[in-house]
Amino acid sequence: MAVQYLAANRFGLGRRFDDPAIGNPKTWLSRHLADYDPAPAATAGLAGRATIATAYVEYREDRQAMRRTAAETPMSEEEKGMDPELRRLSRSAIHRHYVEATAARLTAAIATPTPFPERLVHFWANHFAVSADKQTVIGFVGNYENEAIRPHIMGKFSDLLIAAVKHPAMLLYLDQAQSFGPESPFATRVRNRGSRRSPGLNENLAREILELHTLGVRTGYTQADVTAFAKALTGLTVAGLGRGAGQRLMPADAEPGATVFIAPLHEPGAQTLLGRRYDAAGAAQAEAILRDLAVHPATARHIATKLARHFTADDPPGALVDRLAADFLKTGGDLASLYRALIASPEPWVAAPTMFKSPWDWTVSMLRALKISALGEKQNVAAMFTQLGQPIWRPGSPAGYDDKVATWAGSAGLMQRVELASRIAGRIGDRVDARQLAPLVLADALSPETGQAIARADSPGQGIAMLFASPTFLRR
């Protein structure tokens, strides 16, 4: 067993070069839960929602204006091969907000003295995934993790769910911001005017909350439940993004980028979901449904399974899932209690490190191990993770990144890691001795073969590359 390595890598984000000894792994992890800081310094200077929303509107207007003008500012070498649309995007403020937030995320992950909760932040951001594929969403994704996820990972699951669902990034990503009650006062008025395009319902967010965020797929809800939930959610939208039906109904004092509930867009009347009737009017209706979904037994099982998988294996042990689900139900979804149950369980500790680190996990653990900043001043963090196959906050689907060995264990991905390790080793050269670093980083999981391979490397740099590409360090 390699409990020191598992504590640092399966639960944490890899040992930092200056971390004191872990000692008792369970005590060490419990301390992280107590010391968790929901607002790490690295995220402090990032743009707020109003700035991001304004930047998006400017980008959209610029794009329209620039389409009309042929002349453009001179292009850099990198830009020359780009599609004109991508070039505009890469120069825009929304893209800058994204890039700055990715850099802050990496800085926070490298610096954190509480890597276990930091991993949980990444876990929950991926569970409630938004994806920067949509131009409206790009600027908001960092803010989403910092303001909707971070403050709620130690509280109740229901509060985390509601914060995630109501954040503009989620409302925009899953089309809620443009979903209107078919019988709402607003839609009725448009219809009565004889307009050809009547504003209508979009089921996307309702479906994904049921399928991905709470109950889980194939847990017995029906199409009618999805539609009823979608109707209950109508009225929730985002202020200050201009255009689109219903913008004139925005409250005058709403800050751009703020989540607002607009009653005339809401579908009137009671909704029935999973056999229960919800009579509440307005925004309270969706909130009541979300609170019920958050403590549903299927949700407990779904969350327990995903969490157990993240800390054990592709097919998590049934006993662990049962224990976590029972804890979730007993506490009404108290997340800190769930994490304590996880630490106390035997299952995450029994096996050798068998989970394959994601590109994010692997890169973060490598950078934590090095006392010298291994990335150049101008390193574009977002581009680096895109290259490694795991673009930050851009999983491409509301399901987030899959969490299995086969997801990340690909031949091209492996070669890219070796190439990155090799490049970083080249920058570090002989300023770090891999023979001394290996026992610290691999701890009780250091195998004689890896130790020997590192010792026999033909250069200090090659030794560092071998350490980070070693079979153990690729896993957690």
Binding residues for other proteins, rule: CB under 8 A, are: 81-83, 86, 133, 175, 178-180, 182, 196-204, 207, 211, 217-218, 223, 356, 387, 389, 396-397, 399, 405-416, 418-420, 422-423, 449-450, 453, 457-458, 462, 465-466, 469-471, 474
Minimum distance from residue 313 beta carbon to other proteins (Å): 13
376 vs 10: CA distance, rounded Å: 28
175 contact partners, CB below 8 Å, separation of at least 6:
202, 204, 205
Pick the closest to residue 142 from 197, 96, 208, 97 (CA basis): 97
Please, are residues 210 and 226 in contact by the beta-carbon 8 Å criterion? yes
> How does DSSP classify residue 220?
S
Please, are residues 215 and 290 in contact by the beta-carbon 8 Å criterion? no
**Closer to other proteins by Cβ: residue 8 or 424:** 424
CB neighbourhood size of 20 (10 A): 7
**Closer to other proteins by Cβ: residue 82 or 344:** 82
Pick the closest to residue 304 from 351, 331, 338 (CA basis): 338
Minimum distance from residue 347 beta carbon to other proteins (Å): 21
Minimum distance from residue 440 beta carbon to other proteins (Å): 19
**Closer to other proteins by Cβ: residue 95 or 323:** 95
Query: Angle at Cα 342 formed by Cα 336 and Cα 344, nearest 5°?
Result: 105
Pick the closest to residue 206 from 186, 188, 184, 221 (CA basis): 221
Minimum distance from residue 399 beta carbon to other proteins (Å): 6
**Closer to other proteins by Cβ: residue 344 or 457:** 457
**Closer to other proteins by Cβ: residue 52 or 424:** 424
CB neighbourhood size of 423 (10 A): 15
Minimum distance from residue 476 beta carbon to other proteins (Å): 14
**Closer to other proteins by Cβ: residue 230 or 335:** 230
Minimum distance from residue 34 beta carbon to other proteins (Å): 37
Minimum distance from residue 456 beta carbon to other proteins (Å): 8
Question: Quick one: 183 exposed, middle or buried, by C-beta within 10 A (0-12, 13-18, 19+)?
Answer: middle
> How does DSSP classify residue 265?
G
Coil, strand or helix at 130: coil
**Closer to other proteins by Cβ: residue 377 or 458:** 458
